[in-house]
Structure 1
Amino acid sequence: MTGNKGVAYIKPGQVEVTEIDYPTFELKDGPGVHPDNVGRKVPHAAIVKCVATNICGSDQHMVRGRTTAPAGLILGHEITGEVVEKGPDVEYVQVGDMVSVPFNISCGRCINCKEGKTGVCLNVNPDRPGSAYGYVDMGGWVGGQAEYVMVPYADWNLLVFPDRDQAMEKILDLAMLADIFPTGYHGCVSAGVTTGSTAYIAGAGPVGLAAATSAQLLGAATVIVGDLQEERLAQARSFGCETVDVSAGEPKDQIEQILGTPEVDCGVDAVGFEARGHGEHAATEHPATVLNSLMDLTRAGGALGIPGLYVTGDPGASDEAAQEGSLSIRLGLGWAKSHSFVTGQCPVMRYNRKLMMAILNDRVQIAKNVNATPIPLGESPRGYEEFDEGAARKYVLDPHGMLV
C-alpha cells in the first residue's frame, strides 16, 4: 500500500491537490458516487500509476461552476500510465504494461459496447448511458488527475503500448490518446472529412487543434480554424491551418476570403455550450452560436461533427432554457440543407489504436500541435487558472516527475 494524491474540485474557480485513498478493487462512497455503485466489486480492474494526466476543457466547465459537480470530486479523465496491480479476473493486461486509458468507461459486454458505442455503455453508470472518470453525473468513478487510479474492465478498456522505451520517448503524444486526439478525429470523421475536403473547425482550444490535426491526417485540402483568441489562432497557423478571428464578425465572410466561397464541405464544433457570440456579440455567451453558424457555413449535403460538450444542467446559463440544455437551434436551416449531425461522447476505442500507430510511426505530431506542456501535479491550480484565461496550451500533469 502506498499513498495517493489527487486534484479535487472545491468550489467554482478553485481546485486543490489533496490526500486521497489509494485505489482498491471496490468502488467506495465519495463525492459524486451514485449510491448504486457504492460497494461495487471490480476484480476485473487494474491499478494504474498515472504517468501523464491532462487538464481538459470539460474539467474546466466543472471548475467554472457550470455543472452540478459536487465539492470534493476528484477530477481527471485523460490518463496514461503504468499498470502496477491487477485484479484476479484480469487475464491479458500485465503489471508493468504502459497503457492509455480511454476516458469512456465501458464494460465491453452490453449491446452498445458490442456495437462500438463505448461512449454510451449501459452498465457502468446507474444514472444514464455513458461514463467517465472524475466527471459529474458519470457514476462517480474516481478521477485520474492523481498519482494512482483504478481502471475497471482492464482487459477491455486499456490500450497497451507495444514498447515501454518507445512509449516514454513519445509520451506527450501518446497522452493525447485518452481523449482529445480521438475526440477531434471523431469530430472530423463524423463531419465527413476526407481527401480534398474543405473543413472549418470552430474553436482553437486543445480539442479544436486536435480536430485540425485530424483533418490534415484525413487528407483535407484546406483546414480553417476559428476562435476569439489570437494566441490560439497562432497555434493553429503554426502547423499549416488557415484561421478566422470570429471576434471580427461571422466566420463565413472570412471563409469566403480564403476559399472564394462562403461554405465548406465539413463543419466541426469544438466549442460546446459555453460558446460566445461573433463580432460585436463576442463578449457575451450565446450557446447556440457555433451550431447555427456551422449550419450556415456548411454546404448543402454536408455534415456536422459535434464533439464540443453540451450539458443537460448548466446552473450558470443566462436563461432558464439554456440551464436545461435547451438552445435556440436553427434546425430548419439544417433540415433544408440536408445536414447530418453527430453528437455525444467520442467512442475512443474506435480510433485510439490506429492513432497510436500513427504516432509511433511518426505520421503525426499531436503534442506539438496542441502545445502540450507538462507541469507537476502540485501546480495543477496554476494550470487550471492559465487554461481558463485562454492559454494556447494543453497542460499535462506529471504526478511522478517522469515527463521532464
Structure 2
Amino acid sequence: MSNKAVVYQGPGKVEVQDIGYPDLVLHEGPGVPPSNAGRKCEHGVILKIITTNICGSDQHMVRGRTTAPKGLALGHEITGEVVEVGRDVEFIKKGDLVSVPFNVACGRCKLCKEQKTHICLNVNPERPGGAYGYVDMGGWVGGQSEYVMVPYADFQLLAFPDKEQAMEKIMDLTMLSDIFPTGFHGAASAGVRPGSTVYVAGAGPVGLAAAHSAQLLGASVVIVGDLNEQRLKQAESFGCETVNLTKHDSLGEQIEQILGVPEVDCAVDAVGFEASGHGPEAKEAPATVLNSIMSVTEAGGRLGIPGLYVTEDPGASDDDAKQGSLKIRIGLGWAKAHTFVTGQTPVMQYHRNLLKLILSDKAQIAKAVNATLISLDDAPKGYQDFDKGAAKKFVIDPHGSVRS
C-alpha cells in the first residue's frame, strides 16, 4: 500500500512522495540515529491521518536553518484514526479517533513519570526528547502523510470520546497535538492569571494560540507584536491589542500608549531564533525578542518561551549564532528577578483539559489561528504561502476526510 508524505528536499523545497506504508518498527532512514534504527514498537499503532498541520517549526527546517537531512518526512501535528494495533497495546482500539502529542514519550522513564514528556529519556539516544518528523529528535517518521506509526500508544494517545462530535470540531481538535498546548504552555508558564497584562511576541500561529490562551486564563489586556500587518489583523479579530514592530523601535513606548505604563505583568516569546530587530530598517537579530520581553516585563515577572531555539543554525548571520549562542542581556533579567521557562511543551500536561474547553465551546482556537484546510498535494504551496507570511494555520486533509 502506498503512503504519500511531505518530504524535505533541501533548503526551500518540499515534495510529496511515496515513503511506503508504515509498520511497527522504526526503520533505518533519514534522520534516524543508527542506535535508534530497528526499534520494535509492538506498543504502537498505525494511524490513518485525518488531519495534520504545517508548523512554524517545520518552516525553520525547510528554510535550511537547521541540520535536517534531505529525505526527512515532515510533520509532528497529527490527528488520526487507528487502523492497526500492536500486540502490546491494551486500551487504544482499532477505530479510535485520536490526537497525537508531538512529543514522543515512553511513559516509563523518570521524566515521563514526572509529566516531563517533552524530555523523555528513552525515545532518542542522542539527547532527551523526541518528536515526529523533526531534526535531532530520534528519527521518528513524520505525519504529514496518509499513514503514520505512533509508538507507546496506550500512554500517549488522547482518544476523543465521540467520533461524530469530534469530526464536527476537527478543525479545533487538530490543534491539540501541538499548537494549542504550546500556546497555552507559553501563557501558563508566563504566569498569566485573571487581570494580567500580557505581551506576546509574534503573531504567527503559536503567538495567536498563546494570545487566545492568555484570554482563557483571564488576562485583562493581551498585546501582540509582530512585523506582519496581516497577522496583526488576525490577532485583533479576537480582541487583542497590537503593535507593528516595523513602524516602531521602542516597544515600551507602544505598550505605554495602550496601558498607561511601559511594562506588562508577563510576556511570551512565540518567535524564537529567527527573530528580527525592530524598526523600519531592522535585520535579523536572534536575541531581539528575548531582550525586548525582559525590557518590558515588570520586575519579578515571568517569561514563557515556547519559541524555538536551536543548538545549530547553519543559516545564522554570525559564528556564535550558528552554535546557538546569542547576545542575551542576562544581567537585565537577573536584575529584574525574572523567571524564564523554556523548552518544548509537555503536551500531555494540557491536552485533556484543552479538549474539554473545545468540546464545551469555551475555546475557539481554529478561529483564533485562522485554520485553513488544504489537500496533501497542496502542501508544498502551503509551505510557500506560510513562508511568505500568510495569516493562516494550514491544516492538511490527506484523505479528504474533513472535506467529505
What TM-score, normalized by structure 1, do the two folds share?
A: 0.99
2:316 partner letter: A
Shift of residue 255, structure 1, vs aligned partner: 0.6
Shift of residue 247, structure 1, vs aligned partner: 1.0
Name the structure 2 match of 1:258: 258
Shift of residue 305, structure 1, vs aligned partner: 0.2
Shift of residue 3, structure 1, vs aligned partner: 1.7
CA distance in 2, matches of 1:58, 1:208: 13
Name the structure 2 match of 1:366: 365
**Alignment coverage as a number of residue pairs:** 402
Name the structure 2 match of 1:47: 46
Corresponding position: 1:117 with 2:116: yes
Name the structure 2 match of 1:225: 224
Name the structure 1 match of 2:23: 24
Q: Give % identity.
A: 69
CA distance in 2, matches of 1:322, 1:113: 31
Shift of residue 281, structure 1, vs aligned partner: 4.2
Where has structure 1 moved over 6 Å in runs of 4 or more?
none
1:102 partner letter: P
- Where 2:99 maps in the other structure, the secondary structure is strand
1:241 partner letter: C
Shift of residue 101, structure 1, vs aligned partner: 0.2
1:357 partner letter: K
Name the structure 2 match of 1:318: 317
1:21-43 residue CA offsets vs partner (Å, 9 max, x unmatched): 11101110110001011111000
1:140-169 residue CA offsets vs partner (Å, 9 max, x unmatched): 000000000000000001000000000000
- Where 1:276 maps in the other structure, the secondary structure is coil
Shift of residue 252, structure 1, vs aligned partner: 1.4
- Where 1:271 maps in the other structure, the secondary structure is coil
- Where 2:265 maps in the other structure, the secondary structure is strand
CA distance in 1, matches of 2:212, 2:252: 21
1:200-349 aligned within 5 A = 200-248=199-247, 249-282=249-282, 284-349=283-348
Name the structure 2 match of 1:61: 60
- Where 1:36 maps in the other structure, the secondary structure is coil
Shift of residue 91, structure 1, vs aligned partner: 0.1
- Where 1:264 maps in the other structure, the secondary structure is coil
- Where 1:81 maps in the other structure, the secondary structure is strand
CA distance in 1, matches of 2:401, 2:237: 27
1:247 partner letter: T
1:56 partner letter: C
1:74-153 aligned within 5 A = 74-153=73-152
- Where 1:7 maps in the other structure, the secondary structure is strand
- Where 2:377 maps in the other structure, the secondary structure is helix
Shift of residue 280, structure 1, vs aligned partner: 3.6
Consecutive unaligned residues of structure 1, counting only runs of 5 or more, are none
CA distance in 2, matches of 1:338, 1:317: 30
1:278-310 residue CA offsets vs partner (Å, 9 max, x unmatched): 01443x100000000000000001000000000
1:259-284 residue CA offsets vs partner (Å, 9 max, x unmatched): 000100010000000000001443x1
Shift of residue 116, structure 1, vs aligned partner: 0.7
Corresponding position: 1:398 with 2:397: yes
1:82-134 residue CA offsets vs partner (Å, 9 max, x unmatched): 11111000000000001000000000011110001000000000100001000
1:326-372 residue CA offsets vs partner (Å, 9 max, x unmatched): 00000000000000000000000000000000000100110011000
Q: Decide whether the 8 Å contact of 1:245 with 1:251 is kept in 2.
A: no
1:35 partner letter: P
CA distance in 1, matches of 2:2, 2:95: 19
Consecutive unaligned residues of structure 2, counting only runs of 5 or more, are none
Shift of residue 232, structure 1, vs aligned partner: 0.1
Q: Decide whether the 8 Å contact of 1:194 with 1:220 is kept in 2.
A: yes
1:234-259 residue CA offsets vs partner (Å, 9 max, x unmatched): 00000000001111222211110000
Name the structure 1 match of 2:376: 377
- Where 1:346 maps in the other structure, the secondary structure is coil
Q: Decide whether the 8 Å contact of 1:29 with 1:38 is kept in 2.
A: yes
